[in-house]
Structure 1
C-alpha cells in the first residue's frame, strides 16, 4: 500500500511538472488549424493572409479578429489582453520563439487604438506585431 501511495505521488508530480511548451512542429500544426478555421469563417483569400506575412495589412482585418479571438487575446470590452498573451506564449511556445514574441507583445500592448471596430483594432495589433519584429511574426 505504501509503495502505491509513493508511486501515485510521483506520478502526480511528474505529470504536473513534466509538461512543457509545444514543440515547433506542434505549434505549426496548431497555427495551421487556426489559420484554416479563420480563412473558412471569414472567407478571406489565402493570398491575403500570405500578404500579411509580408507586412500588407490592407485587407482581411476580420481574419485577424478571428485569429486574436480564437487565442482569446481580445477581451469582451474590446481591448488587447497582452498580459494573457504573454502567459500563453510562455506556456505554449518553445523558448527560442517565446522570448522575442513576449518582447514584441509588450512593445505592442497599446497598439489597439480602434475599439469600436473589432476588425480594425485586431489589424492594428497584428501590424504592430509584424512591424516590431517581422522575422518573428507569429500569427497564423
Structure 2
C-alpha cells in the first residue's frame, strides 16, 4: 500500500525529471526531510542515533545502520550487491542543487570502495555514509 508521503516524493521526483531542472535548495531540503521521516518509520531508529551521525559520532546501533540503507535505497543509490550505483548517482546528480555537485562527485570518487562488508546491506550503506560525512562534514546532506 502506498503511503501518502511516498506518493508525494515520487511525484516530486517525477516532476523534476520531466522538467530536467535542478532542485532548489528548498525542494532539496523537503526531499531529504521526507526520506528521513519515511526511513525513521520503516527502521524504527531512535532519531537521537541519526543526530549522533550528523554530529560526527558514528558509534550507532544496527537500526541506525539500516536507516542509512533505507536512505540510500530511497534514492536508488545502491545496487542489489550493495555496491554504490554510479549510474544512478550520475542521474541524481543532475537534479541536485549546483552547490552540491562537486561534493557528490568527489565523495563518489573517494568513497566508492569504502565498505569493508558488502554482505550486509545496512553495514555497507552505513560505511558509505560515514565516508561521505568525513569527506566534508559541512556539506554532508544525507537524511
State whether TM-score is above 0.5: yes
Residue 35 (1) aligns with residue 36 (2):
yes
8 Å CA contact retained: 1:57, 1:127:
yes
Q: Matches of 2:104 and 2:50 in 1, distance apart? A: 20
Q: Structure 1 residue runs of 4+, over 6 Å off? A: none
What's the CA shift for 1:135?
Answer: 0.6
Distance 1:18 1:61, change over 3 A: closer
Cα RMSD, aligned residues only: 1.7
* Structure-2 residue corresponding to 1:9: none
Asked which structure has the greater CA Rg, the reply is 1
TM (norm. structure 2) is 0.80
What's the CA shift for 1:84?
Answer: 2.2
What's the CA shift for 1:61?
Answer: 0.4
Q: Matches of 2:96 and 2:132 in 1, distance apart? A: 16
Q: Which ranges in structure 2 are unaligned for 5 or more consecutive residues?
A: 1-16
* Structure-2 residue corresponding to 1:138: 141
Which whole-Å deviations, capped at 9, do the CAs of 1:75-126 have from their partners, x for residues lacking one? 012211134213312x211111222222122211111221111111111100
Q: Matches of 1:105 and 1:122 in 2, distance apart? A: 13
What's the CA shift for 1:58?
Answer: 2.0
Q: What are the equivalent positions in structure 2 for 1:30-109 lying under 5 Å apart? A: 30-59=31-60, 60-89=64-93, 91-109=94-112
Q: Which ranges in structure 1 are unaligned for 5 or more consecutive residues?
A: 1-15
The number of aligned residues is 124
